Amino acid sequence: MIAATFRSVRSSRNLMIGLAITGLMVAMALVSFVWTPHSPTGLNILSKMQAPSARHLFGTDAFGRDVFSMVMTGAWNSLSVSIVAVAVGMGAGVPLGALAAARGGVIDGLIMRMNDLAFAFPALLTAVIITAIFGPGAINAMIAIGIFNVPVFARITRGASLGLWSRDFVRAARCAGRSDVAITLSHILPNINHVLVVQATIQFALAIVAEAGLSYVGLGTQPPQPSWGKMLNDAQTYIYDAPWLAIFPGLAITLAVLGLNLLGDGLRDVLDPRVRRQR
């Protein structure tokens, strides 16, 4: 069993590349705590707007800050906001979806109608309104993006667990008098966790883009904390004179999202036997 899994891991090129890129991003984010080539927040007006060089790999910005150091620190910001946003989505969405599937009827209908309602609002628009209400900033961006993950996880949890409730082993557990909560914890969740893990990876990637988008329009992470989206926003003014300011943060976002997407695809191949058979 373990050997088989290992083989399929090795055979999944997507998973390996995805793991490598994501690992690189995480490593960059962690290293930024103890070391960056220069200070990501220290101003140095004298060396502003320098093109990439050996001293400043990605050049410097309008305040003379080292772009490479900012990209490194920005990785932590991007990852942390996204992790929390996905955690918020899972934390609220999975129980709601599980509840809907377990109880059915009115509760199911109510939860699913609320879901439809949430899906009707364009995600970014509502995130903009939410940050306008609670003020811009990383914490509120986490909440705003997290809220959008709730219906996603609720729907996927409900969909994946609905069929399980009619399976014999669950019926047997019910007959044995076990509570819905206990059944959900011991039988339902373990059987759908592969679906959730794959979805979490996808949502993680979407959250990174969403955080960058919010920061780009000035509503996400705030200075002096470097963030990729904010860097792109600043870069736009200087795009004639300093195109490097626009290139590197965007590359970082793309790479992070690519890594997570590949990881998600790879995990699906490995964890979901149905998909593996189809390939």
Partner 1 sequence: MAAYVSGRILSLVLTTLAASVVVFLLMQLLPGDPAAVMLGVNAQPETLAALRRQMGLDEPLLTRYLSWIGGFAVGDFGTSYTYSVPIAELLGPRVMVSLPLALMAMAISVGVALPVGVYAAANRGRAGDTASMGIAQVAVAVPNFWLGLLLILLFALELRWFPASGFAGWENGLWPGIRSLILPALALGLPLAAILARVTRSAVIEALGEDFVRTARAKGLSRRATLWLHATPNALIPVITIIGLQFSFLMAGTIIIENVFNLPGVGRLVFQSIAQRDLITVQSLVTLLAASVIVVNFLVDLAYGWLDPRLSTGGAR
Partner 2 sequence: MHRIIAPCLAGVLALGTAAGQAQTSLTVGEALEPPGLDPTVAAASAIRRVTYSNLFEGLVRIVENGDIVPGLAESWTVSDDALTYTFKLRNGVKFHDGAAFDCSVVKFSYERAVAPESTNAQKGLFAPIASTECPDPLTAVVTLNRPSSTFLFGMAWGDAVMVHPDSAATNKTNPVGTGPFRFTRWVQGDRVEMEKNPDYWGTPAGVDKVTIKFIQDPSAAAAAVLAGDIDVFAEFQAPELLNRFRDDQNLHVEVGTTAGKVVMSLNNARAPFSDPRFRQALTHAIDRNVVIEAISSGHGVPVGSHYTPVDPGYIDLTGTYPYDPEKARALLAEAGIAPGTSFTMTLPPPAYSRRGGEVIAAMLAEVGLNVNLVPIEFPQWLEQVFTNADYEATIIGHTEARDLDIYARDKYYFNYDSPEYKALYKAYTEATDEAERLDLIGQLQTKLAQDAPNVFLYALPKIGVWNAKLEGLWKNLPLPANDLTQVRWTN
Conformation bin of residue 52: beta by default, left when phi > 0, alpha when psi is -120 to 50: beta
**Residue 37 or 224: which CB sits closer to partner 2?**
224
Nearer to partner 2, 129 or 185 (CB): 129
Q: Closer CB to partner 2, residue 59 or residue 266?
A: 59
Cβ closer to partner 1: 100 or 205? Answer: 205
- Residue 197's binding partner among partner 2, partner 1, none (Cβ under 5 to 8 angstroms by kind) is none
Closest CA to 143 of 201, 82, 198, 204: 82
> Nearest approach, Cβ of 143 to partner 2 (angstroms)?
17
Structure token pair of residue 224: 């002096």
Residues 228-247 that bind partner 2 (CB under 8 A): 236-241
The 15-44 contact track toward partner 2, x by CB under 8 A, reads --------------------------xxx-
Please list, in sequence order, all residues whose beta carbon lies within 8 angstroms of the beta carbon of residue 37, skipping any fewer than 6 positions away. Answer: 56, 57, 66, 68, 69
The token duo for 202 is 């996808």
Interface residue list for partner 1 (CB under 8 A): 113, 116-117, 119-122, 124-125, 128-130, 132-133, 205, 209, 212-213, 216-217, 232, 235-236, 239-240, 243, 246-247, 249-250, 253-255, 257-258, 261-262, 278
State the DSSP string of 114-170: HHHHHHHS-HHHHHHHHHHHH-SSHHHHHHHHHHHHHHHHHHHHHHHHHGGGGSHHH
What would the DSSP string read from start to end of 224-277?
A: TS--HHHHHHHHHHTTTT-THHHHHHHHHHHHHHHHHHHHHHHHHHHH-HHHHH
Buried b / exposed e over 117-133, threshold 16 CB at 10 Å, is ebeeeebbeebbebbee
What is the pattern of x (binds partner 2, CB under 8 A) and - over residues 124-163?
Answer: --------x--xxx--------------------------
> Binding partner of residue 253 among partner 1, partner 2, none, CB under 5 to 8 Å per kind?
partner 1
254 binds, among partner 1, partner 2, none (CB under 5 to 8 A by kind): partner 1
Q: Would you tell me which residues interact with partner 2 (CB under 8 A)? A: 41-43, 45, 62-63, 132, 135-137, 218, 222-224, 236-241
